[in-house]
Copies of this chain bind each other. A is one copy, B any other.
Amino acid sequence: MISELQTVRIDELSLDSGEVLRDVAVAYETYGRLNERKSNAILILHAFTGDAHAAGVDKDGKDGWWSSMIGPGKAFDTDRYFVLCSNVLGGCRGTTGPSSPDPATGKPYAMGFPVITIGDMVRLQHRLVESLGISQLLAVSGGSMGGMQALEWAVAFPESVYACIPIATTGRHTAQQIAFNEVGRQAIVADPDFHAGSYYESKPPARGLAVARMVGHITYMSDDSMREKFGRRLRGREEFSYGFDADFEVESYLRYRGSQFVGRFDANSYLYITKAMDYFDLTAGYGSLGASLERAKCRFLVISFTSDWLYPSYQSLEIVNALRSRNHDVTYCELSSSYGHDAFLVDVTHQTGIVRGFLARCERELEAAR
């Protein structure tokens, strides 16, 4: 399956901050075919550092980040469904973000980019979906920050969503989740190459961004999966170095993943997107998760993973219980996995069966309701 990045442009987008963004690009990919009634579209929402390349193989031969879940015969079966995924607002992979040129100056926005929210991301996606002539999505789904967007879709555009599948996510960040993001931001801002975000004509704050990514990686894995993958194994040596080179495999892995990340992600996007996650609060303006989710009109499949300590199961249960308190149609699955938060990306066997069954039911009911 070959995937191709497409782009639409939106004249202007009003933001939660009160600012207005003009000439906004939205980069997206699609897989499978939209049926005549346009009733088989599924919008996939990516996590923090993901992008529009969710499935298939791109022109560089790179697999999509959720290729395990999207494709012919897979959970999001492209023989049945028309699947689309767009890079989020504020991103750095084709959709307008801080590294994009500001139409007013022709130079990158940098820190002149307005602070954005999960709500802004979703409103832009809604414009994309409208531009494709789709009035209702069969489903919205994503893990982590993708799950936040899925929940926001259900509440902000209740008529446009038939089913919602938030995975390994939360209705709002806790102090601990904000704290981890803040450490990453401070690592970037502390890098003298950051230059208050205006580094596009010099060099990026590579060291700060790498440290931020290292923190992230630890939170994405579990104690068990790190033990399994690295343990206390030494790297290319039998004895301690008694120096500050990487002694342990886990050290060199983190250093490698940190430095590798710098080549594919923009430090300003790191700041803006983490801020959007921290601001996200489904209860804001409603007083409770229940009151907020009361607006939703879709059925829900909520999934979490036992070893995910970054978005622990209790946060999914808060969503589930809020949905139940409003008598919504909700299925909850806590899946057993040792992979931590990464499980929604890498441990997909059970997730596949559950999503497939849920989507088949949704299709059937939607058909019956016609």
- A residues with a Cβ closer than 8 A to B are 17-18, 111, 114-115, 172-176, 178-180, 182-183, 185-187, 189-192, 207-208, 210-211, 214-215, 217-218, 221, 223, 226-227, 229-232, 240-244, 246-251, 254-255, 258, 271, 275, 278-279, 281, 309, 312
Copies in the complex: 2
Q: A114-B242, A172-B232, A242-B115 are in contact. Are A251 and B182 (CB under 8 A)?
A: yes
A17 to B241, CA, bound (A): 9
CB neighbours (8 Å) of A180 from chain B are: 218
Closest partner residue, chain B, to A250 (CB atom): B175
Minimum CB–CB distance from A233 to chain B (whole Å) comes to: 9
Residues of B within 8 A of A111 (CB): 244
With beta carbons under 8 angstroms apart, the residue of B214, B309, B312 that contacts A186 is B214
Chain B residues closer than 8 Å to A208, beta-carbon distance: 190
| Contact, CB under 8 Å: A179 / B254 | yes
By a CB distance below 8 angstroms, the chain B residues around A250 are 175, 178-179, 182
Q: Is the CB of B275 within 8 A of A183?
A: no
Given A192-B192, A275-B244, does the pair A187, B211 have CB atoms closer than 8 Å?
yes
Q: Are A178 and B115 in touch, CB under 8 angstroms?
A: no
A231-B175 in contact (CB<8A)? yes
* Cβ–Cβ < 8 Å partners of A174 in chain B: 223, 226-227, 231-232
Which B residues are in CB contact (< 8 Å) with A243? 115
List 14 A–B pairs whose Cβ atoms lie within 8 Å, in order of A's numbering: A18-B242, A174-B223, A174-B231, A175-B248, A178-B248, A179-B254, A182-B248, A182-B254, A187-B187, A187-B190, A190-B211, A192-B192, A223-B312, A247-B279
Which of B176, B186, B241, B251 is A258 in contact with, Cβ under 8 Å? Answer: B186
Q: A186-B211, A223-B312 are in contact. Are A271 and B244 (CB under 8 A)?
A: yes
Q: Which of B215, B230, B241 contacts A215 (CB under 8 A)?
A: B215
Minimum distance in angstroms from A164 CB to a CB of chain B? 23
> Residues of B contacting A279 with CB < 8 Å?
240, 247
Q: How far is the CA of A183 from the CA of B229 in the complex (A)?
A: 18
Give chain B residues whose Cβ lies under 8 Å from the Cβ of A232. 172-175, 178, 281
Chain B residues, Cβ within 8 Å of A254: 179, 182-183, 186
Residue of B nearest to A17 (CB): B242
Cβ-defined contact, A190 with B210, below 8 A: yes
Residues of chain B with a CB closer than 8 A to A249's CB: 175
Contact between A244 and B185, CB atoms less than 8 A apart: yes
Having A175-B229, A182-B250, A190-B210, one finds 8 other A-B pairs with CB under 8 Å, namely: A115-B241, A115-B243, A173-B232, A182-B214, A182-B255, A186-B258, A190-B211, A247-B278
B186 and A248 within 8 A (CB): no
- Bound CA span A60–B241, Å: 40
Report A38 CB to chain B, min CB distance, Å. 36
The answer to whether A183 and B215 touch (CB under 8 A), given A178-B251, A190-B207, A281-B232, is yes
Expressed in whole angstroms, the Cα–Cα distance for A166 and B178 within the complex equals 32
- Measured between beta carbons, the chain B residues less than 8 angstroms from A271 are 244
A172, A174, A187, A281: most-surrounded residue (chain B CB, <10 A): A187
In the bound complex, how far is the Cα of B275 from the Cα of A251, in angstroms?
12
In whole Å, how far is A206's beta carbon from the nearest beta carbon of chain B?
9
Between A175, A231, A309, the greatest number of chain B beta carbons within 10 A of the residue's beta carbon is seen for: A175
